[in-house]
Structure 1
Amino acid sequence: MSDSAPVPPLRVTAILLAGGRGTRAAFAQPKQLQSLGGKPLLRWSLDAFAAHPRVSGGVLVASDDVMAATAELPEGWTFAAAGAERQRSVENGLLALADWEDDALVLVHDAARPGIEAAVIDRLLAALATAEAAIPTLPVPDTLVHQAGEEAGNVVDRSALARVQTPQAFRLGTLRRAHAAAAGETATDDAQLVRRLGIPVVAVEGDARLHKLTYAADRAILEGLLEARAMTRTAVGMGYDVHRLVADKPLWLGGIEIEHSHGLEGHSDADVALHALTDAILGALGDGDIGTHFPPSDPEWRGAASWRFLDFAARRVEAVGGRIDHADLTIIAEAPKIGPNRGLIQARIAEILAIPPARISVKATTTERLGFTGRREGIAAQAVVTLQLPET
């Protein structure tokens, strides 16, 4: 990992398909509105996309009655009308994304699969770093046979077979070309249309919790899966750091360089704001502190950019299946003035943590010229971070 700033990730959007009627399950209302785990089926997928730090908006493709029952959408989302079949619905969703660049990434998901997990989205987006299309799949565990009526026929070799799930991920331009080239030909999913262009589709590990509501019996299965998924706990961590101000050194604060007569002295770039945030995250995880993972005795971290420490802590949260809900940072300094740089600091921290800026609070205060910060001998920072973690 170099000390240079990371390349901004490509924008990610989603198309959530909610046009099915649930006729095979004989529901009295559209299956997307069926209550599961205390909320409508499609709300599980909407909430999952809205909570994912990489997804910045999307399109809910739905019938009029589903739209009417889903008046409130997450920020950055819009409606599109459902088509007579799935393929037309996706095309309507693409039309609603007309102002998105071809290099953006798009996740196409069936709302009938409410058990979407952030880890599946992460695997799909990681695959798109080198591929144009990716789908989640699971192995087929059961014996398969040909069947005609009530008679079971020959066994089918399942070793080369897999179950395909959604969301399916694509470069937006690739998906647009695939639908434009379909020319009236139909397919059961978008990956088929992409393969017709001769473009390989990468398979990543799916998730058994992405079970689809098709028949009435699926409701009980999904209720159990969603109940288990809801078992999370909130963890709160606090971090504090202070460094001395010295002359003739650049001042790094909140991940940005601020013009000032003095900089902060330390083994790394001594960014007290990012150090406090790093310790807050590690504290919420019960995973030591910044000195545990990046000891000042280790020459590898001499002069290191502190965004590397914060990025490390954020990845530790991902590794245990958690997410960062909110970060509250207070910088304590007489000078320089933080106000003019608050927006830049907020945006930089959001970029490092891969969460929306709205989930980050950046404040500044002084000690009314009291103590070492009041005498302009140093700068301090304290942070509080809230995480959602799986029950253990």
Structure 2
Amino acid sequence: MSAASENGSVAAIVVAAGRGIRVGGGVPKQYRRVAGQAVLTRTLAALASHTDVATILPVIAADAADFFRECLEDLDPSIRARIAEPVEGGATRQMSVRAGLEALASGTAPEIVLVHDAARPFIRPDLIARAIKAGRDHGGAVPGVAVTDTVKRVEEIEPGIGRVTETPARDALRAVQTPQSFAFGPLLDAHRAAAAQDLHAFTDDGALAEWASLPVVVFAGDIDNRKITQASDLIEADRAFSSDAAGARAMTQYVTRLGTGFDVHAFTEGDHVWLGGIRIPADRGVLAHSDGDVALHALTDALLGAIADGDIGTHFPPSDEKWRGASSDQFLAHACELVRARGGRIDHLDITVLAEAPRIGKHREEIRARIAAIAGVPLSAVSIKATTTEKLGFVGRAEGLAAQAAATVRLPDEEAGA
């Protein structure tokens, strides 16, 4: 048995690498907010509520680092101290769990590992305790609740129509949940064996353990330990988390604001222009007090507009020599900080550059990445496009270039909190 452990410790792997976009909104469900906090934030806090869980290891998608960082910011420092550096997941749930197991094996392997879905934030300490005990007693254990509906096994005969082939007895059926609990070494061995045979489609670790002929028992689950899968689940979760134990008033409510911005600069002598924080070679430069980055200037104004806090000239007046030749990334960073200082969240940034030249196509992804880094948002939250004006106007005559931007943010609803 590889990576065996005698230390008696418990670690939890939180599977959060899925796209989970059936709930809508374009953001994976584990990062959607319910009552002011991300689902994943609440799941991590719930697991940390049991003191026997020594290490919590999140497994996230490669492009979700910014989302995850926001989740951590909402956690108490004492909880953050028990959360390990996240590891990158795979294309399937099974591959993500194995990535987590291998990461744990590279250090001090635990005796027991819990595998839990990021989208189950309602887990309670008593369920965690049952999971740990069942894993220790039996080597493999999954929580289950009785099936209350009659279940039919069907054989599809045409799209949407299936012929009933069996009606299993309900008393022998259980709807399985997480956290699932296993002796660490045998589960890691089972994952490695499945990967060696190129088997990657197991939908839960209980099924994989069964395939590997490991003993698996079902212990009492929790009917309230529901999984968020649909938009309606998010609404119900928001209601549930928005009330305290006595059914008190809701927590912070948010309102969505949209701001727009526009900037223009004339061409002058030079060999480059700045666009989106990237220096782009060109046959001319721009006439400007700062570095003349029309994309970042427009985006800064869009954010300031969303929070109704003046414009870029208000905060960085061109009459102030301090800003002569200044890099525009600090303008955008300042606007982002103002949003966050009000308890706001930046949801999306969209820019359109209007120019005959230079062409930005080959620089597009570099610009997106730079803006995402400045603003502290995921790459998926940044869009940049370019267009000409069909030879019309000063842009069409190649006398200058311009940019327009839109920023979508969420701010605490002061009226709702009054």
2:17 maps to 19
Q: Decide whether aligned partners of structure 1 residues 199 and 142 sit closer, same or farther in structure 2, where only a CA change above 3 A counts.
A: same
What per-residue deviation string (whole Å, max 9, x for no partner) do you get for residues 284-304 of structure 1? xxxxxxxxxxxxxxxxxxxxx
1:170 aligned onto 2:182: yes
**Shift in Å at residue 150 of structure 1?**
6.0
1:231 aligned onto 2:237: no
The 5-angstrom pairing of residues 82-121 of structure 1 reads 82-101=89-108, 104-121=111-128
Q: Report the secondary structure of 1:144's partner residue.
A: coil
From 194, 210, 228, the counterpart of 1:195: 210
Residue 17 of structure 2 aligns with an amino acid whose one-letter code is: G
What per-residue deviation string (whole Å, max 9, x for no partner) do you get for residues 122-144 of structure 1? 00111123211111100011222
- Say if 1:108 and 1:167, in contact at 8 Å, map to a contact too: yes
1:66 aligned onto 2:64: yes
1:260 maps to none
- Say if 2:136 and 2:183, in contact at 8 Å, map to a contact too: no
**Shift in Å at residue 59 of structure 1?**
1.2
Structure-1 separation of matches of 2:41 and 2:163: 39
Q: Which structure 2 segments of 5+ residues have no match? A: 1-5, 248-418
Structure-2 separation of matches of 1:143 and 1:224: 30
What per-residue deviation string (whole Å, max 9, x for no partner) do you get for residues 66-101 of structure 1? 321222371132210121110111111112112445
**Shift in Å at residue 103 of structure 1?**
5.5
Structure-2 separation of matches of 1:44 and 1:53: 16
Runs ≥4 residues deviating over 6 A = none
Q: Decide whether aligned partners of structure 1 residues 165 and 225 sit closer, same or farther in structure 2, where only a CA change above 3 A counts.
A: farther
What per-residue deviation string (whole Å, max 9, x for no partner) do you get for residues 284-343 of structure 1? xxxxxxxxxxxxxxxxxxxxxxxxxxxxxxxxxxxxxxxxxxxxxxxxxxxxxxxxxxxx
- Cα RMSD of the aligned pairs, angstroms, is 2.5
Larger Rg: 2
**Shift in Å at residue 203 of structure 1?**
1.1
Q: Which structure 1 segments of 5+ residues have no match? A: 1-7, 234-392
**Shift in Å at residue 220 of structure 1?**
2.7
Structure-2 separation of matches of 1:177 and 1:80: 19
Q: Report the secondary structure of 1:134's partner residue.
A: strand
- Say if 1:145 and 1:155, in contact at 8 Å, map to a contact too: yes
Q: Decide whether aligned partners of structure 1 residues 151 and 122 sit closer, same or farther in structure 2, where only a CA change above 3 A counts.
A: same
1:300 maps to none
Residue 214 of structure 1 aligns with an amino acid whose one-letter code is: T
Q: Report the secondary structure of 1:53's partner residue.
A: coil
Structure-2 separation of matches of 1:48 and 1:82: 22
1:137 aligned onto 2:144: yes
Normalising by the residue count of structure 2, what TM-score does the alignment of the two structures yield?
A: 0.50
1:79 aligned onto 2:86: yes
The 5-angstrom pairing of residues 252-271 of structure 1 reads none
Q: Report the secondary structure of 2:188's partner residue.
A: helix
- Say if 1:14 and 1:109, in contact at 8 Å, map to a contact too: yes
Residue 213 of structure 1 aligns with an amino acid whose one-letter code is: I
- Say if 1:63 and 1:81, in contact at 8 Å, map to a contact too: yes
1:184 aligned onto 2:198: yes
Q: Decide whether aligned partners of structure 1 residues 184 and 122 sit closer, same or farther in structure 2, where only a CA change above 3 A counts.
A: same
- Say if 2:11 and 2:113, in contact at 8 Å, map to a contact too: yes
Name the % identity: 35
What per-residue deviation string (whole Å, max 9, x for no partner) do you get for residues 222-242 of structure 1? 3344456x4289xxxxxxxxx
- Say if 1:102 and 1:171, in contact at 8 Å, map to a contact too: no
**Shift in Å at residue 170 of structure 1?**
0.8
Normalising by the residue count of structure 1, what TM-score does the alignment of the two structures yield?
A: 0.53
The 5-angstrom pairing of residues 166-315 of structure 1 reads 166-182=178-194, 183-185=197-199, 186-227=201-242, 230-231=244-245
